[in-house]
C-alpha cells in the first residue's frame, strides 16, 4: 500500500502535463492546482480502500473532467417525455414566449420595479400585479412572494402567531419536499388544533373547537392525494360562514393556482382562486408554477385588510419575489386576462392537446424509429401536486428493449445520459415516451436522441 502511495505523481508533475497546462489557459492556476490536489486526495482515499495508484494520464483526465463538470451550465435542459405535465423534479411549468421575453427585458437593464414613473418617487413592486390578480380572481387585494410555502408561512405568521388555527385532521398533511402543514404552523408560532377524523370532518367539529385563542380556520386543498370511500369534508362556504360568525379568519391553501376549469378537459374539477374568493375566503394562497403555468411564486389574494397585515409583516421582505419571476408572472397572468391561456401557456397547451394530435405525433415517432417503435394508447398525468389520480388519455411511443443488455432500464438510462437528455418512463419492459409533454421544437432532437440510444 505504501508503494501505491509512492507511485502517485507529485502536484508539480501533474501540472506540467499538456492537458493541465491547457486547462490553466481557461481557469486560474490556483484553481487548477486545487483541483489537482483534490484528485490526488481522492486517489489516496481509493488506495486506502485497496485500489492501485492511478497513472498520471488518468489523474489528469479526471481533473479535466471535474473542471468541465464544474463549469457545465446547470440546471441543464432536459426533454420531458414522461407525460407528467407539471414535473416538480424537472422544474415544474415551462414558460410562455412572452414570459421569457419579459424576463429578458427586465434582466438586461433597469426597470420601474419599485419606482413610480408618474410621480418620480418610490413605488411598490406589487401594484401592477395586484391589479391583474384582482381582475382575474375578484379579490379586493393581492400580493406575491417567493413561493406558496412562504405565502403560507407569511399568512400564518402575520395573522395567527401566538394563537390557535383549526385544521381538519384530513388536511394536516405533507405536501412534499418536507412541507408539512403542522410544521409550518409551528414555525409561525401558531398552534394547530386538529379536528374531525382522517376521513370525515363536519362544520360542527370546527365550531366545537373554537376558543378565545382561536384566530382562524385553515382549509388545505388535498392536492397530492385522495381520500376515497366513506368521507366528508365541510363545504368551504359553510366554513366561511361559521368563521365569520365567530369573527375568525378563513385561510385557504389551494396549492395549485388553477384559473381555468379542469373539468372542461375531462378531469376532476380543481378548486379555483375565483371560487375561493367568491365563497368568502379572507385569503387564498396558491403557487405560480403549478396549474397557473408561470414561474415559481406564491400568490395571496383576499381581503384588503388581511393582505395589508401580511404585506406589513417583517417576513414579507424575507420572502419577497424577485424581479425576474415577477416579470414572468405578470406576462403569464396577461395570457389569462386576454383569454389566450390555452394557446399561450405551455402547461395548458399540453393539457389541451387533442387525442388526434397526440395519435398522429406518436405514429410519426414510431415510423421514424423503425422496428423497435410502436404507437400505443396510454395515459398522461398532470402531476406537481395537482389532480391526484386524474389522467388524460394520450398516445405514446413504446420502445422495445429486447436484446439490449440491461433491457428497458438501460435504454432509459442511455436516453437520460444522452445529449440532449431525455427523461422517459419504463413500463412492462418497454421505454415509454409521451408526446404531450414534448414541444414540437424539441421533436427532432428527441428523435435523434432515441436513434443514438438505440444504436
Ligand atoms: C404545492 C403546494 C404547496 C407548496 O407550494 P410551493 O409553491 O411549491 O411552495 C403548499 N400547499 C399545497 C396544498 C400545495 O399543493
Q: What is the CA radius of gyration of the chain?
A: 27
CB-based burial, 286-301: b 16+ in 10 Å, e otherwise: bbbbbbbbbbbbbbbb
In the structure, what pLDDT confidence band is assigned to residue 177 with cuts at 50, 70 and 90? low
In the structure, what pLDDT confidence band is assigned to residue 1 with cuts at 50, 70 and 90? low
Give the position, in ligand 1's atom list, of the atom nearest the Cα of 223.
Answer: 15
Q: Are 218 and 191 in contact (CB under 8 A)?
A: no
Q: How far is the CA of 242 from the centre of ligand 1 (A)?
A: 26
For residue 282, the number of C-alpha atoms closer than 13 Å in the C-beta half-sphere is 26
Give the position, in ligand 1's atom list, of the atom nearest the Cα of 254.
Answer: 13
Strands of 425-427's sheet, edge to edge? 373-383, 386-400, 430-433, 425-427
Q: Are 281 and 253 in contact (CB under 8 A)?
A: no
Q: Are 392 and 265 in contact (CB under 8 A)?
A: yes
Q: How far is the CA of 257 from the centre of ligand 1 (A)?
A: 10
In the structure, what pLDDT confidence band is assigned to residue 224 with cuts at 50, 70 and 90? low
Residues with Cβ within 8 Å of residue 89, at least 6 apart in sequence:
none
First to last CA, the chain: 42
| Residue 395 predicted with pLDDT over 80 | yes
In the structure, what pLDDT confidence band is assigned to residue 223 with cuts at 50, 70 and 90? low
**pLDDT tens, 11-20?**
999 999 999 9
Q: How far is the CA of 148 from the centre of ligand 1 (A)?
A: 5
Return the residue whose CA atom lies nearest to atom 3 of ligand 1: 255
Residues with CB under 6 Å of ligand 1 are 147-149, 175, 179, 220-221, 223, 253, 255, 287, 298, 385
Residues 353-358: what's their mean pLDDT?
97
Angle made by CA atoms 236, 289, 384, in degrees to the nearest 5: 75
Residues with Cβ within 8 Å of residue 412, at least 6 apart in sequence:
424, 425, 426, 431
**pLDDT tens, 100-129?**
999 999 999 999 999 999 999 999 989 999
Q: How far is the CA of 433 from the centre of ligand 1 (A)?
A: 28
Residues with Cβ within 8 Å of residue 272, at least 6 apart in sequence:
254, 258, 259, 260, 261
Q: Where are the beta strands (DSSP E) in 155-311?
A: 164-168, 174-176, 179-180, 191-195, 214-220, 249-256, 283-287, 298-302
Q: Are 155 and 217 in contact (CB under 8 A)?
A: no
Q: How far is the CA of 280 from the centre of ligand 1 (A)?
A: 21
Mean pLDDT of the chain, nearest integer: 94
Give the position, in ligand 1's atom list, of the atom nearest the Cα of 222.
Answer: 13
The number of beta carbons lying within 10 Å of the beta carbon of residue 411 is 23
Q: Where are the beta strands (DSSP E) in 212-308?
A: 214-220, 249-256, 283-287, 298-302
In the structure, what pLDDT confidence band is assigned to residue 390 with cuts at 50, 70 and 90? confident
Q: Are 215 and 249 in contact (CB under 8 A)?
A: yes
Joined together, the cell numbers standing for residue 85 give 405535465
Joined together, the cell numbers standing for residue 420 give 440532449
Q: Are strands 373-383 and 164-168 parallel, antiparallel or unpaired?
A: unpaired
Which structural domains are found in the chain, ordered by start? 2-71 (no CATH), 78-88+347-454 (3.90.1150.180), 97-340 (3.40.640.10)
Task: With CA atoms as reference, report the closest residue to 297 among 105, 126, 116, 115.
Answer: 126
Residues 16-39: what's their mean pLDDT?
97
Task: With CA atoms as reference, report the closest residue to 289 among 320, 251, 333.
Answer: 333
For residue 245, the number of C-alpha atoms closer than 13 Å in the C-beta half-sphere is 10
Residues 133-162: what's their mean pLDDT?
97
Give the position, in ligand 1's atom list, of the atom nearest the Cα of 256.
Answer: 15
Amino acid at each position: 500500500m505504501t508503494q501505491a502511495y509512492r507511485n502517485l505523481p507529485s502536484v508539480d508533475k501533474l501540472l506540467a502535463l499538456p492537458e493541465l497546462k491547457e486547462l490553466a489557459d481557461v481557469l486560474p492556476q490556483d484553481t487548477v492546482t486545487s483541483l489537482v490536489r483534490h484528485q490526488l486526495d481522492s486517489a489516496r482515499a481509493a488506495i486506502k480502500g485497496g485500489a492501485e495508484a492511478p497513472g498520471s494520464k488518468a489523474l489528469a483526465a479526471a481533473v479535466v473532467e471535474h473542471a468541465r463538470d464544474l463549469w457545465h451550465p446547470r440546471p441543464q435542459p432536459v426533454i420531458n417525455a414522461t407525460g407528467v405535465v407539471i414535473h416538480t423534479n424537472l422544474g415544474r411549468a415551462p414558460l410562455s414566449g412572452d414570459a421569457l421575453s419579459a424576463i429578458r427585458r427586465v434582466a438586461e437593464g433597469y426597470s420601474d420595479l419599485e419606482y413610480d414613473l408618474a410621480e418620480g418617487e418610490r413605488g411598490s413592486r406589487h401594484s401592477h400585479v395586484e391589479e391583474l390578480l384582482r381582475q382575474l380572481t375578484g379579490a379586493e387585494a393581492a400580493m406575491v412572494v417567493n413561493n406558496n410555502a412562504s405565502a403560507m408561512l407569511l399568512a400564518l405568521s402575520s395573522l395567527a402567531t401566538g394563537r390557535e388555527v383549526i385544521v381538519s385532521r384530513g388536511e394536516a398533511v405533507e405536501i412534499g419536499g418536507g412541507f408539512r402543514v403542522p410544521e409550518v404552523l409551528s414555525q409561525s408560532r401558531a398552534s394547530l388544533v386538529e379536528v374531525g377524523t382522517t376521513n370525515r370532518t363536519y362544520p360542527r367539529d370546527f365550531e366545537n373547537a373554537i376558543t378565545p385563542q382561536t384566530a382562524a380556520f385553515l382549509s388545505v386543498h388535498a392536492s397530492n392525494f385522495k381520500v376515497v370511500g366513506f368521507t366528508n369534508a365541510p363545504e368551504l362556504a359553510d366554513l366561511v360562514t361559521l368563521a365569520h360568525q365567530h369573527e375568525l379568519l378563513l385561510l385557504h391553501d389551494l396549492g395549485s393556482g388553477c384559473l381555468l376549469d379542469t373539468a372542461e378537459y375531462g378531469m376532476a374539477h380543481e378548486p379555483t382562486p375565483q371560487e375561493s374568493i367568491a365563497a368568502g375566503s379572507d385569503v387564498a394562497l396558491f403557487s405560480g408554477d403549478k396549474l397557473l403555468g408561470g414561474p415559481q411564486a406564491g400568490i395571496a389574494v383576499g381581503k384588503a385588510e388581511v393582505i395589508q397585515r401580511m404585506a406589513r409583516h417583517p417576513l414579507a421582505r424575507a420572502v419577497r419575489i424577485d424581479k425576474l419571476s415577477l416579470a414572468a408572472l405578470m406576462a403569464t397572468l396577461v395570457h389569462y386576462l386576454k383569454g389566450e391561456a390555452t394557446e399561450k401557456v405551455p402547461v395548458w397547451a399540453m393539457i389541451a392537446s387533442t387525442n388526434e394530435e397526440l395519435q398522429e405525433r406518436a405514429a410519426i415517432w414510431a415510423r421514424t424509429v423503425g422496428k423497435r417503435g410502436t404507437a400505443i394508447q396510454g395515459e398522461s398525468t398532470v402531476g406537481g401536486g395537482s389532480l391526484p389520480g386524474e389522467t388524460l388519455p394520450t398516445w405514446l411511443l413504446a420502445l422495445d428493449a429486447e436484446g439490449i443488455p440491461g433491457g428497458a432500464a438501460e435504454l432509459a438510462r442511455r436516453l437520460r445520459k444522452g445529449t440532449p437528455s431525455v427523461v422517459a418512463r419504463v413500463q412492462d419492459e418497454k421505454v415509454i415516451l409521451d408526446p404531450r409533454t414534448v414541444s414540437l421544437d424539441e421533436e427532432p432532437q428527441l428523435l435523434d436522441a432515441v436513434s443514438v440510444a438505440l444504436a
